[in-house]
Amino acid sequence: MAKITPKSILKQNKKETKITEKNLEQKASSDNVSDAMKNIFNINGVIEGIKPIDDTFKVVGRIRTAQTDSNDWGTLIKAIYECKEDEILFVKCSDDKKAVWGEMASTAALKNNLKATVIFGASRDTNEIKDLGYKVFSKTTRSNAGFPSYEGMIGEDIIVDDRIIKTGDLLIGDSDGVVIVSQDDVDVILKEVNNIKKFEDKCLKKLVDEDLNLDDILGI
């Protein structure tokens, strides 16, 4: 067992303050990640229009993709059982005219240890899903649904808002929206998120403790 010294304790505390993929959900937000993507790649990373069905829902994790017609919710039932533990099922629908996800799918996903389901389309059974505590994000909610067909794709690359999204990409979702980071860019984005949080903390300290004006702090 490693010897515990003041130096080792300080080193451990330093490690704990660093934002990593593991603690990103607790230490940062979709806003921070979007800002990091803007700073590094000049894109915001936001998947437009998607919000949690409950504002308290927040999730960070790797995704498994699926794509289906809004009339076909059967593909998503199959997708649940192709997801690995702690993955987020990210679904692109043809439109949001019919719901492709509801209470039964959420129950099955919860039993299969998925972290969340994020739908570029519509969900339903909102109150029942909230009671379950399973995290669902979608563009809208609808009462009507289609049929249990199985005509979509699971695990394939998909295109949303002119962006290629792949199984294994990192998703950050909270009350402000959903941001996806390419798996190849996770390390550089996390580094920039750390820079952003340090800068914000310094600004807030000056604003509150030193009673400076925000425009002076920001130099604008």
Element of type H or E holding 132: helix 126-132
Residue 94 · residue 70 · CB < 8 Å: yes
Q: Which two tokens stand for residue 216?
A: 């002076």
Please report, rounded to a whole number, the percentage of residues in the chain having pLDDT higher than 90: 82
Alpha-carbon distance values, 215 to 119, 206, 207, 218 (Å):
39, 11, 10, 5
pLDDT in tens, 7-36: 554 555 555 589 999 999 999 999 999 999
pTM beyond 0.95: the answer is no
From first CA to last CA, the distance across the chain in angstroms is 52
Pairing of strands 170-174, 59-68: antiparallel
Q: Which residues pair with 171 in a beta bridge?
A: 61, 180
pLDDT in tens, 91-129: 999 999 999 999 999 999 999 999 999 999 999 999 999
Chain Cα centroid distance, residue 77: 21
